[in-house]
Chains A and B, each alone.
Chain A
Amino acid sequence: MATPPIFSYEVTTKDVEGLPDARGNSIKAMLASNYGVEVGTVRVILGYQVRAEMTNEDAQRTVFDLFADPVIEEGCVNETLLDNKMIFPIAPQIAITTGFKPGVTDNAAQAGLDGLLTIFPSISERAEVATSRSYLFWGVPEEISSEWLASKLHNRMIERAIIANSIDCKAGNWPSLDFPDRPALQQQKPAIVNLEVSDEKLIEISQNGLLALNLGEMQAIQAHYRNKKVRIARGTRGLVPNAPTDVELECLAQTWSEHCSHKIFAAKIHHVDTETGEDCSIDSLFKTHIMTPTLDIQSKVDWLLSIFHDNSGVIAWNDDWSLCMKAETHNSPSALDPFGGAMTGIVGVNRDILGTGLGARPIANTDVFCFGPPNYSGPIPEGLFHPSRVFRGVHAGVRAGGNESGIPTINGAIIFDERYLGKPLVYCGTVGLMPRRLPDGRESHIKTPTPGDIVYMVGGRVGSDGIHGATFSSLELTEESPSSAVQIGDPITQKKMIDMVLEARDLGLIQVITDNGAGGLSSSVGEMAELTGGADLDLSVVPLKQAGLSAWEILVSESQERMTIGVSAADCEAFEKLADLHEVEATAVGIFTDSGSFIVRFGEQTVADLPISFLYDGCPQLQLESEWAPPVHEPILFPQANADEMGEILCKLMARPNVASKEWWVRSYDHEVIAQSVIKPFCGVNHDAPGDAAVIAPIQGQTQGAVISNGIAPRYSDIDTYAMAAASIDEALRNAVCVGVDLDLIAGLDNFCWPDSVESAKTPDGRYKLAQLVRANRALDEVCRAYNLPCISGKDSMKNDAILDGKKISVPPTLLFSLIGNHSDVRKAVSSDFKNVGDHIYLLGETHQELGASELAFMFRDDSGGQSGIGGAVPEIDTARNLSMYRSLTAAMGAGLVASAHDCSDGGLATTVAECCFGCDSGSIIDISSITSDCSRIDAWGALFGESLGRILVSVKTIDCAAFEAAMKGHACYALGRVEADDQITFNNGDDAVLSASMADLRLAWKGTLDGGAN
C-alpha cells in the first residue's frame, strides 16, 4: 500500500498593529539575556507536516479550521510563507528550521493529529503529524554565525536543524525538514547470556550492557543459575536451565539498580572517625537512621498511615482526608535535555502520588533546582550546556509539566554553585490528597490485590525512549551517555489518565496501582507481584509506539505516562469502558498470581522466570568503607567597612543568585489552580516579597490547611555535612513555623543527592564522601527525633558526578528536606511581609558568631579570587531550644499577636530585614546591640550576616507588644526596632551606625540578577 501524501502547513502571526510576534520577541530577548547578543527582528513560523489520506480541499479547509487562527494568524498548506511578499516583503538574513528527531515525543503533533481526527474521523488509519519551527532573523550582528544561532535554538540530542544562511536566503532557498520517519526496527529474539565466564568477563557483560551491576551482584546472579532447584524449575518452563535470558538479566539489573534498590543506603558500612577515634559498623543507614526513628515516632502517634513501602508516605490529615507526599530527582536526564528531563521529572512524581494506596489526587508541586551559576564565564565541557540554558530549559519543562497537568507549583528554591555544572539537581515533589475511605468502604491507603486480578497497563504506549534510565542514572555522566535515556513528557495524556484513574478509584474498580517509572513494567509489575506472590505477564500484547521492540526492551522501557493497575476480573468491563470514555488506552497485559515467580512471556514463549524472593532479596549487601577527617579551610578575610560600605556589601549580597529574587521564574508557574492557595510564593503590598512555607486549603470552603516547605543548605557540606543536614531540616521547619504550622502534625521527606561515595579508582576520596553521608544521616536521625518529625518518604540519587574532558565534577553533598504539616485554621496564617509602619520588629532565637560557609563567606571568596576562605564555625543546632521557641511562637500566632514572621537564613539578619521591608514598601531602623551583648564573641558581621539556626524575624503591632513579649518569655527574643516609612534601612549597634542602605537600591539589586527577560 502506498504511503499517504504529506501536506505541509505553515502558520505565522499576522502583521497587525498592536499584535507583536511574541514568539519571535521571546527568542530575541532570550539571546540578549543568555548571551548578550542583540539581533534586530526575529519572526517564527510554525510548521506542521501531515501525512494522511486527505483531498486537497480537505487540506485547504483545515488551514483555518485547525492549524491557524483565522483572526490573528497567516496560514497556508503546501506553499511557503517566506515566498509570499505580502507577508515577508524583505527576505530574512538567516532562517533556521528545527524539528524533533524521529521517535522523540512531539506533543504538539499529537494534538494536531487529535484535532485532525475531530474533523475527519475516518482518516485515523495511518495518519501522522510532525511539527517544526522556523526562526527568521533580520539584523544579525556580523560576528554571529547561523551555526551559532542554530546551536542555541535546538538540542542536537533530540532535535534536527536545517540552516539557510544569507546566501541561501538571498536565493530563496528556504530550509525544510524531511518527515521524521523512524527506520523499521528488527525485533531481536530473546538471547541467552552465558554467565559461566571469568570475573573479568562478568564485569564486561555488565558494562557493555549498561547494567550497572558490580562483580558481587553478577556473581550472585551466576550462583542463582547454578542452583539445582532453579535449573529444574526452568527446565519445566521451557527456559534454558543454566543461564539467564537477556530479559531476566535486564529485569534484575533494573530491580537491583542503585536507583531502585538504594544499595548504598542499605550497605554495611565500616565507619572511622579520625577526629574522635570512633570505629564502628553501621548495618544500613536507611534502617538505622531513617526507618527506626520514624517507626519509633509512629508508635507514639495515630496519624502515620503508610510509610516507606508505597510510592509516597501517607498521613491522616483529618477524619475524612489523608495527605501524601513524595519528592524525586531527575538529574541525569535534565543534564542532557533540560526541558524533557525536568518535565518527565515532574509528571513522574505526579504518578507516584497517583500510584499511592488506591490512588491519590496530586494537588501541589514543589520544585527545587541546583544549577551552576547563571553568570558562569568559565569553560563549558563538551556535551554540557551553559547553566543559564539548563536553568531555562528545566524551568520551562517543569512549567509545562505542572501547568498543563493542572497542579499548582506552590513552593521551591533555586540554588547555585559551580559544582552543579556537571550535573544539575532537579528535585520535583508532589503532594496528594485522598479520601480516607472509598465509597465501597475500603481504606484508600491500603492496596488490596488478590491473585487472579488482571494486570492493566494504562495511559501511554511503550517505545524505545527511556530504555536504561534507571541503570543510566546509577552511572556517572559521560560524553557517551545514551540519548535513549532522555524523554519528553506528555502532560495531556497523563492528565486524561489521572482523570480516569481517580474516577475508577471512586467506582471501586482499582485493587492495586503503581506507576511505571524507573525500570518500566519490570519494576511496576514486579513490585506488585511481591504483594500477591507472583505475576504472569505477556509482552506481546503491550501497545507499542513503534513495532519491533525486543522483549527486554518492552519490559524495561521507561516510556512515560503509564500506570499499572490490578483490576478484579469482574470489574474489567467497566474499567475498560471508563478508559474508552476518557480516551485513555488500557490494555490487559497479565494476571497477578501466587506462584512465587514473576513469569514473563512473549506470546507462547516464556522469556523470563524470576523467583520473587530472588528478585527482591537476592541482591548482596554492599560492604563499604567510611572515614571522617574534618576538612581544613582558610579563614574569611573581613574588609574594613563603614556603614555605607556595609550597605554596599548588603546590596551585593542581595544580588547574589542564591539570595536574589526568583520572581520572574516563579510567576510563570501556576501556583493557584485548584483555588486553595492561602500563603502564596509572593506576598506584600506589591506581591513581590518572598514567602516562606506555602499554605493551602485544599477542600474549597473549609479552613483547615496544609503547610508545605523545603530546606536545603548544601554550602555547609564543605565544612560538615552534619551541619548541612541539620540546617536543611531546621530551615524547612522554620519556614513552616513562620506561617503557623500545627507542630503536632508534621512529617518530612529526605532527598539525598550525593556524589559517588564508593571508594574506587574513579573515586579515590570515596571514604570521605561516605563519611559525609554517615554524618548527614546522623543529623537527620537526631534532629527529626527531637522535632518529632518523622520521615515518611525519601529518595537518594547517589551518582551525581560528571566525567567530562577527563575531569570529574562532583556535586556538593546535598540534602533536600521537604516538610508537610497541618494548619488548624488558615485564617490565622501569617505572611512574611512587614504590615504597617510603626510595627515593632523582633528577632527570635539566638545569634552566634557562625559565618563558616555562609553566603557572605562565599561572596568574599568569589570576590577575592579565593584569597578569602570560607572557614569558621558552621551553625550548630539546639533542637530543644528551637522547638520550645517555635511552640511559643505558634501559640502567639494563634492568639493573633504576630503581624509577620520570616525565616532568617541565607545572608542572615540583614537580608531578612530587607526582604520583610520589600513587602511593606518601607524601611526600618534596627539596633543590634541587644544581640551582640547577649552572646559572647559576636561582632557586627556575625550579627548581620551570620546564619545561626532557630531564628525567625517577626513584627508585632504596638498594641500587641506586651502580650507578645509575655508569650515569648523564657526564649531569646530581641526587640530590634521598628518599621519606618522612608526608603532607608539602617542597622545600629547602640549609638554607632553599622550599616545603611537605600531600599530602592537593594530592591534593584535583588530583582536585577535573575530577571529572565524572555522565555
Chain B
Amino acid sequence: MVDTPRVAVLSGFGINCETETMAVFEMAGAKAERVHVNRLVNGEVRLNDYHIMAVPGGFSFGDHLGSGRLMGNRLRFGLREQVREFVKSGKPVIGICNGFQVLVKMGLLPGDEEVSLTQTASLALNDSGHYENRWATLEFDSNSPCIWTQGMTRMRVPVRHGEGKFVTGDRTLLDEWAKSGQLVVRYVNPNSDYPSASDNILPYPISPNQSWRNIAGVCDQTGLVFGLMPHPEANHSTWLGATWTREEIEHGEGEGMAIFRNAVNYVKNSL
C-alpha cells in the first residue's frame, strides 16, 4: 500500500505544461515533483523511486523534426533501461499532448509486450495544416484495460496541437488495438447520445485533426501506459470549462480530474 504516490513530472527542453500537471496530481492526492530529464540521465534521481511518470505537454525542442521526436530520442537513448524497468514493474505512465507524441515516437505507445520501444504509430500534421486550440468532446472505451480511464464515459477538454492526427503504418494494427481496448479515447459529436464512438472520421472541427478512427488517445496492452492529445489537466476546475458561464453548476473539480484520481487510486490500492 502506498499512502502518497510520488509522481515524476518530467520537465526541460520546451516541456511547458509541468506546472498544471503537477497541480492536478497534487489535487488528486499525490506528491508531484518536477524532474528535469537530465536529472534522470545523470543519475541524480532515479525513475524507479517514483510511482507514476508523467510526460507533460509542450513544445519539446520546438517540435522540429516532428513533434516529440527529439524528446523521444532523449528518453529512448538516454533513459532506455530506466523507462523499461519502470513500465515492466507495473507503474502507470501518462503522456499528454507533446508527452503523448513523445511516448508514441519512442515506441512506448501503443507499445508491445516486450516494451521493445519500436515505433508503430505516429501523430501526423492535422489535416488543417496548422496548430489549433479548441474544445472537443471525448468518449472513453468502457471495455478498455486502461487504468487511467476506468469508469469514465465522456469528457470535455481543450485540444492544443498542430500534429495530433493518429495514424499507423499498418492498418491491421488498428483492429488489433481496438480488440484489446487500446483505442481508449476518441473524439465524438457532443450532441450525440452515449455511447457513439465511431470508426468513421467525424467532420472538422468535431474531430479537430482528422485522426484515423477519431482516435484521441491510446493505451498499451496492460492499460498502465496511456497517452492522449487533448489536455485533461487543463480542465481541473469547473471555472476553466469552455461554456461554464452558460451552465448552472456547483463549482468544484473539473471533468479532467477523474483521469488523475484513477491513477493515484490505482497506485494506492495496487502497488
Residues of B within 8 Å of A193, CB to CB, are none
Q: Which residue of B lies closest to A106 (CB)?
A: B64
Interchain CA distance A496-B233 in the complex, whole Å: 22
**Also in contact, A687 and B13, with CB within 8 A (given A22-B128, A111-B70, A700-B236):** no
Chain A residues near B132 (CB, 8 Å)?
667-668
Given contacts A72-B167, A119-B77, contact A582 B38 (CB under 8 A): yes
Query: Do the beta carbons of B23 and A111 come within 8 Å of each other?
Result: no
How far is A667 from B242 in the complex, measured between Cα atoms in Å? 13
- Please, which residue of chain B has its CB at the minimum distance from the CB of A700? B23
Q: Which of B39, B65, B167, B231 has the largest number of chain A CB atoms within 10 A? A: B65
B73 — nearest CB in chain A belongs to which residue?
A: A118
* Chain B CB within 8 A of A766 CB: no
Residues of B within 8 A of A672 (CB): 133, 158, 160, 231, 234, 240
Q: Is A670 part of the contact surface with B, judged by Cβ < 8 Å?
A: yes
A675/B234 contact (C-beta < 8 A), A19-B124, A495-B16 known: yes
The CA of A671 and the CA of B134, in the complex, are separated in Å by: 9
Complex Cα gap A405–B69 (Å):
18
Q: When the two chains form the complex, which single residue of B39, B42, B77, B126 contacts A22, counting CB atoms closer than 8 Å?
A: B126
Note all chain A residues with C-beta closer than 8 A to B151: none
Interface residues in chain A, defined as those with a beta carbon under 8 Å from any beta carbon in chain B: 13, 16, 18-20, 22-23, 25-26, 29, 65-67, 69-73, 107-108, 110-112, 114-115, 118-119, 399, 403-406, 491-492, 495-496, 499, 581-583, 667-680, 683-685, 687, 697, 700-701, 703, 826-827, 829-831, 833, 835, 900, 1014-1015
CB neighbours (8 Å) of A22 from chain B are 124-129
B130 near A668: Cβ-Cβ < 8 Å? yes
Of the A-B pairs whose beta carbons lie under 8 Å apart in the complex, a sample of 11, sorted by A's number, is A19-B124, A19-B165, A22-B125, A70-B119, A405-B59, A581-B39, A675-B24, A675-B236, A685-B246, A827-B238, A827-B239
The answer to whether B239 and A697 touch across the interface, beta carbons within 8 angstroms, is yes
Contacts of A20 in B (CB 8 A): 127
The distance in angstroms between the C-alpha atoms of A829 and B130, with both chains bound, is 31
B203 contacts partner chain A, Cβ-Cβ < 8 Å: no
When distances are taken between beta carbons in the complex, the residues of chain B under 8 Å from A111 are 61-62, 64-65, 70
- Contact indicator B59/A406 (Cβ below 8 Å): yes
A405 and B23 form a contact (CB under 8 A)? no
Contact mask B50-91 → A, CB, 8 Å, 1/0?
Answer: 000000011101111110011001100110000000000000
B124 and A72 within 8 A (CB): yes
Chain A: minimal CB distance from B208 (Å): 10
Nearest CB of A to B113, in Å: 20
B65 touches A405 (CB 8 A): no
Q: Are the CB atoms of B13 and A492 closer together than 8 Å? A: yes
Q: A119-B77, A678-B239 are in contact. Are A492 and B59 (CB under 8 A)?
A: yes
Closest chain B residue to A581 by CB distance?
Answer: B38
Chain B contacts with A in 19-45, Cβ cutoff 8 A:
19-20, 23-24, 27, 36, 38-39, 42
B12 CB–A CB distance under 8 Å: yes
Shortest distance from the beta carbon of A321 to any chain B beta carbon, whole Å: 14
The answer to whether A687 and B243 touch across the interface, beta carbons within 8 angstroms, is: yes
Distance (Å) between the CB of B224 and the closest chain A CB? 23
* Residues of the A chain whose Cβ atoms lie less than 8 Å from the Cβ of B73: 65-66, 115, 118-119
Smallest beta-carbon distance A100→chain B, Å: 14
- Does B14 sit within 8 A of A, measured CB to CB? yes
Residues of A within 8 A of B125 (CB): 22-23
Closest residue of chain A to B77, judged by CB? A118
Q: Which of B57, B122, B235 contacts A673 (CB 8 A)?
A: B57
A831: nearest chain-B partner, CB-CB: B245
Contacts of A679 in B (CB 8 A): 245
Q: Which residues of A contact B235 (CB under 8 A)?
A: 675
Once bound together, how far apart are the Cα atoms of A118 and B61, in whole Å? 12
Extra A-B contacts (7), CB below 8 Å, given A111-B64, A673-B20:
A23-B129, A69-B105, A71-B120, A71-B168, A582-B38, A675-B234, A679-B245
* Contact A1015-B129, Cβ < 8 Å, known A680-B242, A687-B242: yes
Considering the complex, give the chain B residue whose CB is closest to the CB of A363: B19
B11 at interface, CB cutoff 8 A: yes
Given contacts A685-B246, A687-B135, A831-B245, contact A403 B129 (CB under 8 A): no
From residue B65, how far is it (CB to closest CB) to chain A in Å?
6
**Cα distance A808–B29 when bound, in Å?**
64
Q: Could you tell me if A399 and B122 are in contact, using CB atoms closer than 8 angstroms?
A: no
Looking at A112, A405, A581, which has the most chain B CB atoms within 10 Å of its CB?
Answer: A581
Q: Are B245 and A830 in contact (CB under 8 A)?
A: yes
Minimum C-beta distance from B241 to chain A (A): 9
Residues of A within 8 A of B70 (CB): 111, 114-115, 118
Q: Pick from A405, A582, A667, A683: contact of B16, CB below 8 A.
A: A405
Q: Is the CB of B12 within 8 A of A1014?
A: no
Q: Is the CB of B65 within 8 A of A115?
A: yes
Task: Provide the residues of chain A in CB contact with B120, threshold 8 Å.
Answer: 71
Which residues of the partner chain B approach A667 to less than 8 Å between Cβ atoms?
A: 132-134
Query: In whole angstroms, what is the CA distance A499 to B37 when docked?
Result: 13
Tell me the bound Cα distance from A676 to B12 in angstroms.
21
Cα distance A107–B246 when bound, in Å?
43
- Report the minimum CB–CB distance from A426 to chain B (whole Å): 19
Report which of B64, B231, B237 forms a contact with A701, defined as CB distance below 8 A.
Answer: B237
Q: Closest residue to B242 on the A side, CB-wise?
A: A687
Bound complex: CA of A684 vs CA of B244, how far in Å?
A: 10
Q: Which residues of B contact A830 (CB under 8 A)?
A: 245
Q: How far is the CA of A676 from the CA of B160 in the complex (A)?
A: 14
Interface residues of B in 220-238 (CB under 8 A from A): 231, 233-238
Residue on B nearest A406 in the bound complex, by CB: B16
Q: A19-B124, A667-B134 are in contact. Are A25 and B129 (CB under 8 A)?
A: yes
B169→A70 contact, CB < 8 A: yes
Q: Whole-angstrom distance between the alpha carbons of A581 and B45 in the complex?
A: 13
Q: Is the CB of A69 within 8 A of B69?
A: yes
Q: Is the CB of A399 within 8 A of B243?
A: no
Across-interface contacts of B105 in A (CB, < 8 A): 69
Chain B residues contacting A69 (CB-CB under 8 Å) are 66, 69, 105, 119, 122
Q: Which residue of A lies closest to B157 (CB)?
A: A672
- Is B266's beta carbon under 8 Å from chain A? no
B17 at the interface (CB under 8 A from A): yes
Bound complex: CA of A26 vs CA of B135, how far in Å? 23
Task: Say yes or no: A26-B130 contact (C-beta < 8 A), given A71-B119, A675-B233.
Answer: yes
Residues in chain A near residue B11, CB distance under 8 A: 499
Tell me which of A69, A499, A826, A831 has the highest count of chain B C-beta atoms within 10 A of its own C-beta.
Answer: A69
Q: How far is the CA of A495 from the CA of B59 in the complex (A)?
A: 10
Which residue on chain A has the smallest CB distance to residue B11? A499
- With a cutoff of 8 Å between Cβ atoms, the chain A residues found around residue B231 in the complex are 672, 675
**How many angstroms between the C-alpha atoms of A581 and B44 in the bound complex?**
11
Given known contacts A108-B64, A118-B78, A703-B239, is B16 in contact with A671 (CB within 8 Å)? Answer: no
A564 CB → nearest B CB, Å: 23
